[in-house]
Amino acid sequence: RRDSEHQGMAKNTNMRWRLPLVCLLWELAMIVLFGVFVRFGAEADAHWEEEKREMNLTSDMENDFYFRYPSFQDVHVMIFVGFGFLMTFLKRYGFGAVGFNFLLAAFGIQWALLMQGWFHSFKDGKILIGVENLINADFCVGSVCIAFGAILGKTSPIQLLVMTLFQVTLFSVNEYILLNLLHVKDAGGSMTIHTFGAYFGLTVTRILYRPNLEQSKDKQGSVYHSDLFAMIGTLYLWMYWPSFNSAISDHGDAQHRSAINTYCSLAACVLTTMAFSSMLQKKGKLDMVHIQNATLAGGVAVGTSAEMMLTPYGSLIVGSISGIVSMLGYVYFTPFLESRLHIQDTCGIHNLHAMPGLIGGIVGAITAAAATEDVYGKEGFIKAFDFTGVYQTRTPSIQGGFQAAGIVVSLLMAFAGGAIVGGILKLPIWGDAAAENCFEDGIYWEVPEDEESDVYHMHNPDKPASP
Amino acid sequence: RRDSEHQGMAKNTNMRWRLPLVCLLWELAMIVLFGVFVRFGAEADAHWEEEKREMNLTSDMENDFYFRYPSFQDVHVMIFVGFGFLMTFLKRYGFGAVGFNFLLAAFGIQWALLMQGWFHSFKDGKILIGVENLINADFCVGSVCIAFGAILGKTSPIQLLVMTLFQVTLFSVNEYILLNLLHVKDAGGSMTIHTFGAYFGLTVTRILYRPNLEQSKDKQGSVYHSDLFAMIGTLYLWMYWPSFNSAISDHGDAQHRSAINTYCSLAACVLTTMAFSSMLQKKGKLDMVHIQNATLAGGVAVGTSAEMMLTPYGSLIVGSISGIVSMLGYVYFTPFLESRLHIQDTCGIHNLHAMPGLIGGIVGAITAAAATEDVYGKEGFIKAFDFTGVYQTRTPSIQGGFQAAGIVVSLLMAFAGGAIVGGILKLPIWGDAAAENCFEDGIYWEVPEDEESDVYHMHNPDKPASP
Amino acid sequence: RRDSEHQGMAKNTNMRWRLPLVCLLWELAMIVLFGVFVRFGAEADAHWEEEKREMNLTSDMENDFYFRYPSFQDVHVMIFVGFGFLMTFLKRYGFGAVGFNFLLAAFGIQWALLMQGWFHSFKDGKILIGVENLINADFCVGSVCIAFGAILGKTSPIQLLVMTLFQVTLFSVNEYILLNLLHVKDAGGSMTIHTFGAYFGLTVTRILYRPNLEQSKDKQGSVYHSDLFAMIGTLYLWMYWPSFNSAISDHGDAQHRSAINTYCSLAACVLTTMAFSSMLQKKGKLDMVHIQNATLAGGVAVGTSAEMMLTPYGSLIVGSISGIVSMLGYVYFTPFLESRLHIQDTCGIHNLHAMPGLIGGIVGAITAAAATEDVYGKEGFIKAFDFTGVYQTRTPSIQGGFQAAGIVVSLLMAFAGGAIVGGILKLPIWGDAAAENCFEDGIYWEVPEDEESDVYHMHNPDKPASP
């Protein structure tokens, strides 16, 4: 059928028993753990009628479902269609891009509901879940999708599932440290999702370095239609990013503000991306890889500060800069990372998530440090940074310091975690493909007969298929 | 242009007068019937200001529009993009898949607004419609889209319109029997939409059995890009299914709960699907047909029970099982149905909708029978099953019995209705194609010149197109 | 690489310094202007807590964000995916369709926030923005996307940015005249968006008339997969159009009603489109160009009247007619416009936006003129047409007259503006391509190696690429 299948014999990539075993065992574990721990939160439980009375709510509209469900669905689309299709740009790895992203995200959200639940929604021995938990689970998995971008085409589905298990766990720990111990704001996850996810993935791909990857160089590019499929992913990520950054912000002005800031930042980012994509190419032609990716940096870079009073022009500035940084990354940094540091970053997540994530963390720290009661209003100030209880005495500049500390913690967690998990993934039991079979769906998927020969067959039924 | 066109001469597939006549006559009928019967419901009528005062509503937010419109749009996407693109997997039937789905759904929703309106929203001689009616019309048409999956590629657009007319009618009758006479709960339509729609479609395709269908076997497969287009459909169905199952549930906790249960069930289903897709293949490779379809069984299988206190772990169990059942269906059942029972099921709706629909009905019956005031709360219990008025005395176990009866009624309606409608569609006046022209867009669509020869032309303008 | 590149030498299409310069200068201008003028509106500002108290709002739900954000996201998808992918039907212009649409829309929304802000949201020297401004900016850019459809494939990205700058400016002036001076209702923008945008674009393309365009005739068609990509655009426009027409209507019944009317109109439009597509073709086959475009006319044609008491059957009538008119346009009008009036309309926007836009304006005028207190209710009547303050004495028939005047003003603005902007775009400094290089991505984009030869290479590594 496909030459690659025969070449693949060198390594045992047959998933027949390993993949089913892992999937079924883990799903079984999920069922048991959900059975022991997970229950509906008050707003999703049939006791809601009584709850409403107790909380003096006059309308079903006050159920958090109506504040967050539309944003949840947008985030959901970003994770499954956005990330999935963004990675279909490779000419012969579309099934793997969409399909493995589907697999790891579907597993990851279950495990994230548990991990994040134990840290944040645990009451009387039970994890109580509602729509906000669903969003957070999607967020957590988002960081795995990002890491997947670095190793795209080079790992087996089992490796992805193993990585997901560990990364979700580490994500939840890191998130707990940031949000609960450091009391940091990071609604859009510049630090927890992007910085952590990207540097984790980059560390993993460094550990899994494949010296002979140029053997599959012919498959590392795109074809015309695969670039259009990837644009579906890009646009859905771009359009719904305002929902991403506002999904778990406080009700009211904070959600509203997050959406506006993100909208502005993303719009600016498109223009600087286009400018630099043309400028850095000899013939001044635009490159789809840049448009597909760097246009999104603006969403990443306001992930921490979007719910703050960043203001629309502040967002334009951040978006503009992040587009430029991301573009410079694609043109100058990625080749350097590969040749010098042996970091093979298939999708360029260093440019789309790592650097813009760092920018996002820094902008967040600065915006927090610069906050004043004048700008936020007295109540708004306290609400925005949750300066209540033990945090009552925190000043903006201290908050800025803690925000900065959050970046450092996320980086350390990513490097340490990525190194350990990369080491585990290097074990020779997971069924990854040989270098010459990377970026090739035929290894793990039943691939239909080639388009061209088929069409030939169909239209010229009398002639033989091969000349 | 295309050989198939000439071969098609055997049967008269020219739609020139028949299709326009049917479309225009039916649209005219819709206009007349809408003119006589359909008006805006109170929440969409300009008298709303007065209505608000009478109902003591303090906010425009209490308008049902804001409770249901986001879910409506998600459902809308499922019907038109979800079902439409899911069926584009065939290499040369993409236009028919998306286009005919568009046609039948656009007609079907109009007829469904009338049929369901007469049964459920009829007041003083008028059908009063609002956003919930739009959702229900989409739901009703969903059952036609399902049936379309069984006969995909084998029927003319007129046959599809005729089938839509009858199926929407029968759907509405069946729905009325279930919801009003049996007082059954079925918010996500496991019985009314999936079981009914699938067995209806399977009966129709049985009646329309084509003994020589292997003549078009070369066109029954997919090509690389058509499989990616189909994944767009799959993912939108998968992502928005929580909206589908919660769209018409009661405001508040019921909508919230439905979304969570469906989210969990679908996530589990992906893992068991992947496991069995790999396990049941000799080389352990994943098959796109399975991923495109069986991953959705989890949404179908909680259609009845999602709004009940199924609980997240219950959902994981149901989702896991439905993925396995669906997978076994694709590998073992579909070939059996075709060879022994002469049921040619193009998209495998038996595996995606019929069996999971039955599971959904049964799980719904069991969950209802197992309901207790303890789990639901006193008020929640009454609200969840609407045990008011004449149904005040119903116990959970009786409700479970009625739920089970609903499955049986849906099956009987599907078999009887499918047989009659199949008979009608067998009349030789509808312009269906010969067996060798099935699964081929060229029969009913202007198809652009072949891609390959075109590109050739373009890049080598000096050379002749054919060697 | 590509022959066209060499042929393109005749004209200097190198964007290397021009495009970056324009993008960066304009983004810089945006940052400065936003810095001076744009601030958060009350509902997005951190002072919202105090605002809520002052306005006696009891719930965060009363924030306009929750009334409009879901619709905003739908509109956002229409602009970027809807218009973007609708235009990917050309076989070799998919990158330009999606990519340039992305570029001009991202720039346009920033400039629209300013222009519309100065006219409508200007308070104490500041433009105060909220979610409604975001929607309006998207709307404004929608009119540019429409005009883009007429000149698709024939202009450089710089020309598009220049056109966007001027068109957004003129749009805002026209909108101000209609909404504020004439006090016209046009929530879905039949006049302001569609009529204005389309006739503006048609005038521009007339001025830019290319007598030798048949030199690139081989690239003006579609291929099989490009038609499927275009259907993604079509369906998203079709599905979300109810959100488009209801997005900025009054809270409550008006939004609800707009969605229902649009839903009905679009459904009817699909049937008449299919009927006439089949009827006007010799062999009765459906044409994808028609299905991709004329099915949307129903949304355009109720753009003005959707929020009025058009009623569902009125919507069916309008939708039916608009589908027919649009179809006649594609078959008879477009060739006439090109051969006689030298209007080269790549996407047929005359059929999809111009004529249906006029219908929409007229239907709006009639529906307004026919309004009665009986139909709307006393309060509803005043609210629907905003007959307050200086407009207290307006009667429906006078309103109808002003609505009609709105059509005329929009047309005049479009013709005059289009002529001026067309003249500017004719200057030989913008880097547009020669006639034989139109509709070809290779001029402005890095295009990957041809699919067929690549795949060949990949699967037969030992054989040479060309026989």
Q: Which residue of B has its CA nearest to C232?
A: B81
- Minimal CA–CA distance to B166: which of B431, B418, B346? B418
Extents of the domains making up chain A: 69-427
Question: Is there a contact between B163 and B144 (Cβ–Cβ < 8 Å)?
Answer: yes
So what's the pLDDT on residue B282?
Answer: 82
CA-CA distance, A28 to B320, in Å (whole number)? 9
Tell me which amino acid residue C92 is: R
Inter-chain CB proximity B67 and A88 less than 8 Å: no
Residues of B in contact with A447 (CB under 8 A): 224
Confidence band, pLDDT 50/70/90 cuts, at residue B12: confident
Q: Number of A:B CB contacts under 8 A?
A: 250
- Minimal CA–CA distance to C310: which of C177, C185, C142, C183? C185
Q: Is B340 exposed, middle or buried (0-12, 13-18, 19+ CB in 10 A)?
A: exposed
Residues of A in contact with B236 (CB under 8 A): 81
So what's the pLDDT on residue A457?
Answer: 38
CA-CA distance, C351 to C146, in Å (whole number)? 11
Chain B closest-CA separation from residue C378 CA (Å) = 8
Give B165-193 pLDDT, tens digit per residue. 999 999 999 999 999 999 999 999 999 99
Report the 10 Å Cβ neighbour count for B466.
6
So what's the pLDDT on residue C209?
Answer: 96
So what's the pLDDT on residue C3?
Answer: 43
CA-CA distance, A1 to C381, in Å (whole number)? 70
- Minimal CA–CA distance to B73: which of C27, A257, C244, A160? C244
Chain B closest-CA separation from residue A261 CA (Å) = 23
Name every residue whose Cβ is closer than 8 Å to that of residue A369 and which is 6 or more positions away in sequence: A396, A397, A399, A400, A401, A403
Q: Which residue of C has its CA nearest to A242?
A: C73
Chain B closest-CA separation from residue A359 CA (Å) = 31
Phi, psi (rounded to 5 degrees) for C371: -65, 140
In this complex, the chains that touch B, judged by 3 or more CB pairs closer than 8 A, are: A, C
Half-sphere exposure of residue C282, counting CA atoms within 13 Å on the CB side?
0
Helices (H), C177-220: 196-207
- Minimal CA–CA distance to C360: which of C325, C328, C322? C322
So what's the pLDDT on residue C450?
Answer: 62
Inter-chain CB proximity A239 and C77 less than 8 Å: yes
Helices (H) and strands (E) in chain C, counts: 21, 5
Chain A closest-CA separation from residue C206 CA (Å) = 28
Chain C closest-CA separation from residue B268 CA (Å) = 28
So what's the pLDDT on residue A452?
Answer: 46
Strands A126-129, C286-287: pairing is unpaired
Q: Which residue of C has its CA nearest to A318?
A: C31
Question: Is there a contact between C296 and C269 (Cβ–Cβ < 8 Å)?
Answer: yes
Looking at the predicted structure, is the pLDDT value of residue B319 above 50? yes
Beta bridge partners of B445: C286
What is this model's ipTM? Answer: 0.94
User: H/E element holding A59?
Assistant: none
Conformation bin of residue B445: beta by default, left when phi > 0, alpha when psi is -120 to 50: beta
Topology of domain A69-427 in CATH is Ammonium transporter fold (1.10.3430)
Helices (H), C2-63: 3-7, 18-37, 48-54
Question: Is there a contact between B233 and B241 (Cβ–Cβ < 8 Å)?
Answer: no
So what's the pLDDT on residue A5?
Answer: 42
Give B216 or A171, the one with higher predicted confidence.
A171
Q: Which residue of C has its CA nearest to B225?
A: C225
CA-CA distance, C81 to C394, in Å (whole number)? 41
In this complex, the chains that touch C, judged by 3 or more CB pairs closer than 8 A, are: A, B
Chain C closest-CA separation from residue B363 CA (Å) = 33
Inter-chain CB proximity C252 and B52 less than 8 Å: yes
For the record, the structure tokens of C206 come out as: 């007339």
Question: Is there a contact between B372 and B380 (Cβ–Cβ < 8 Å)?
Answer: no
Best interface-test mutation with C: which of B47, B144, B164 has the largest number of C CBs within 10 A? B47
- Minimal CA–CA distance to A122: which of A134, A113, A110? A113
Name every residue whose Cβ is closer than 8 Å to that of residue C425 and which is 6 or more positions away in sequence: C155, C159, C162, C163, C204, C207, C208
Give B137-158 pLDDT, tens digit per residue. 999 999 999 999 999 999 999 9
CA-CA distance, B341 to B361, in Å (whole number)? 24
Give C162-183 pLDDT, tens digit per residue. 999 999 999 999 999 999 999 9
Residue in this structure with the two tokens 């998306």, named with its chain if needed: B98
Confidence band, pLDDT 50/70/90 cuts, at residue B450: low
Q: Which residue of B has its CA nearest to C269?
A: B106
DSSP A277-304: HHHTSTT--EEHHHHHHGGGHHHHHTTT
Tell me which amino acid residue B202 is: L
Q: Label each residue of B173-205 as H, E or C.
A: HHHHHHHHHCCCCCCCCHHHHHHHHHHHHHHHH
Inter-chain CB proximity C16 and A283 less than 8 Å: yes
Name every residue whose Cβ is closer than 8 Å to that of residue C294 and which is 6 or more positions away in sequence: C269, C273, C276, C277, C323, C326, C327, C329, C330, C351, C352
Inter-chain CB proximity A316 and C34 less than 8 Å: yes
CA-CA distance, A64 to A44, in Å (whole number)? 9
- Residue ranges of chain C whose pLDDT lies below 50: 1-9, 451-467
Best interface-test mutation with C: which of B15, B63, B71 has the largest number of C CBs within 10 A? B15
Inter-chain CB proximity B256 and A95 less than 8 Å: no
User: H/E element holding A420?
Assistant: helix A396-425
DSSP C388-404: -GGGTT--HHHHHHHHH
So what's the pLDDT on residue C10?
Answer: 58
Give B280-294 pLDDT, tens digit per residue. 988 999 999 999 999
How far is CA A449 from each of CA A216, B102, B442, rounded to the nearest angstrom? 21, 29, 21
Residue in this structure with the two tokens 């690489």, named with its chain if needed: C1
CA-CA distance, A417 to B299, in Å (whole number)? 35
Of A17, A30, A69, the CB nearest to B259: A69
Beta bridge partners of B126: B123
Of C240, C254, C271, the CB nearest to B73: C240
Name every residue whose Cβ is closer than 8 Å to that of residue C98 and which is 6 or more positions away in sequence: A228, A231, A235, C84, C85, C87, C88
Kindly give the confidence (pLDDT) of every residue in chain A, 467 residues in length, as a single tens digit, with 9 standing for 90 and above. 344 444 444 578 888 889 999 999 999 999 999 999 999 999 999 999 998 999 999 899 999 999 999 999 999 999 999 999 999 999 999 999 999 999 999 999 999 999 999 999 999 999 999 999 999 999 999 999 999 999 999 999 999 999 999 999 999 999 999 999 999 999 999 999 999 999 999 999 999 999 999 888 889 999 999 999 999 999 999 999 999 999 999 999 999 999 999 999 999 999 999 999 999 988 999 999 999 999 999 999 999 999 999 999 999 999 999 999 999 999 999 999 999 999 999 999 999 999 999 999 999 999 999 999 999 999 999 999 999 999 999 999 999 999 999 999 999 999 999 999 999 999 988 989 999 999 999 999 999 976 444 443 333 333 333 33
Of A218, A231, A311, the CB nearest to C457: A218
Of A223, A268, A313, the CB nearest to C451: A223
- Minimal CA–CA distance to B200: which of B174, B238, B232? B174
Beta bridge partners of C198: none
End-to-end CA distance of chain C: 18
Q: Is C439 exposed, middle or buried (0-12, 13-18, 19+ CB in 10 A)?
A: buried
Phi, psi (rounded to 5 degrees) for B222: -105, 170
Looking at the predicted structure, is the pLDDT value of residue B10 above 70? no
In this complex, the chains that touch A, judged by 3 or more CB pairs closer than 8 A, are: B, C
Q: Which residue of A has its CA nearest to B266?
A: A106
